[in-house]
Structure 1
């Protein structure tokens, strides 16, 4: 990156879960926690849930580096994967793309209905893979609750790792608690040594879930692709639904299929381009945090 050279970006979203996408395939773009926080700041920066940096890599079309607006780096983001896949497919004219992330390789395709589908891989249910701080043999429901011991308002979440850790609380009313208040406490509960994404999930029917998500180091979000995947597989595992579900989030619907042949999760949904712009070079000269 040359001194004084402005860096272009794309602003995109998947169901309102929004991203600043930086392309570092043809020029070096440094990224630190402090830079991510500056870009993600909705008052002083561009404002977004995550910052995505695209880098060259062998064995895939691109490496997707994912930073939460709070400054932490994460392994997976389903909505961002769809956005990046759309960029790549528009560039190449192909109907598929292979994206490498910290969580592994992801294959994305464009469906006939125009939605982008991503193979998110197989979920991990073992307590040490999520990870949890102590052993739970059955992660369909672990001992964790909010509220009085004899009458908790939230309790017994299902936990899973789908590229990042998730806890799903099953509720009859998504407004039973203020997720904006309890989310930070649960995200940082000692049972989750790496933190966790916290979701409230209401089962509307055998093929429909409704979801509200507190995203780790990002806060309340209009949509979270990995949370939708997590809720879908946990619901099927508890026999609350089948393996094909529509997950309704505040920003809209995602379609999740947990494939029986290999246990891979297929997530399909839309993408949206908001605008393009540039960031001044001094944005990327902030000291590492």
Structure 2
């Protein structure tokens, strides 16, 4: 493994801790360094007691010059698996990069594609998560099916936002035992790559309450891509319009499904900067 370090220092690999509504991230800026992150490292850093803890690890890399993007983002889940998209982490990193560069908007590349992020004012950050994936093979599902209502009890909707989602609309999201409900559907045979699971109910006109079980993570206080998927599913079902407020365990996001993609707006928090020690990093390779 290769990391940034100072001669004689026991501290290596600088990181930032950030969160969007309690959806928390370890962020590593690798644009000017030679850093190789492995799934085992990501899983070790994610451990809440023996590491640092996160919902996702995000790596900021230099973008391919052909994309004319400001940076390229790579995401790891807490179990060491990768994710093509992470909306709240994208917003947090966009805020950091906009503050650093004094730019009001950015182009960021991910496995999801090119994402546009903007300063929404009043401390809020917006990101265009792109057009939703609504066909079975894009999400993907294991077989050709209508994605609006899957043949699963509760008739959930399937949506892709660079990662797969399964959204249930219920009378009261608060009473669902999410710790049992989530893993049951994360590993459903219809989702060959597993899925994020959302349960939501309508609070009022264009207003939803949602709770999230995140693929490879578990219960999380918020999820940006899940919020986008739920907003799209609600609009497709006629439960709301295309511009909604979503209340999550950690706070509120505003989702706007426009012609150019699904825009997500909300607050971000840069909590702290630090660096991992040599002893800890070497323990992850043992």
TM-score, normalised to structure 1, is: 0.92
1:81-136 deviation per Cα after TM superposition (whole angstroms, max 9, x unaligned): 00110111011101111111111111000013331000111001101111111111
Alpha-carbon distance, 1:204 to partner: 1.1
Q: Which residue does 2:151 correspond to in 1? A: 143
1:183-198 matches, within 5 Å, as 183-198=182-197
Instruction: Give, in whole Å, the separation in 2 of the partners of 1:5 and 1:210.
Output: 43
Q: Which residue does 1:271 correspond to in 2? A: 268
**Structure 1: gaps of 5 or more residues:** 146-154
Q: Which residue does 1:148 correspond to in 2? A: none
Q: Which residue does 1:98 correspond to in 2? A: 107
The reply to whether residue 280 of structure 1 matches residue 277 of structure 2 is yes
What is the alpha-carbon root mean square deviation over aligned residues?
1.4
**Aligned length in residues:** 276
Instruction: Give, in whole Å, the separation in 2 of the partners of 1:190 and 1:32.
Output: 28
CA contact (8 A) 1:31 1:284 kept: no
CA contact (8 A) 1:29 1:284 kept: no
Q: Which residue does 2:30 correspond to in 1? A: 24
1:168-247 matches, within 5 Å, as 168-247=167-246
Alpha-carbon distance, 1:287 to partner: 4.1
Instruction: Give, in whole Å, the separation in 2 of the partners of 1:202 and 1:29.
Output: 43
**Structure 2: gaps of 5 or more residues:** none
1:140-161 deviation per Cα after TM superposition (whole angstroms, max 9, x unaligned): 111112xxxxxxxxx1001100
Q: SS at 1:142's partner residue?
A: coil
1:61-76 matches, within 5 Å, as 61-76=70-85
CA contact (8 A) 2:118 2:127 kept: yes
Q: Which runs of 4+ in 1 moved over 3 A?
A: 2-5, 281-288
The reply to whether residue 167 of structure 1 matches residue 159 of structure 2 is no
TM-score, normalised to structure 2, is: 0.93
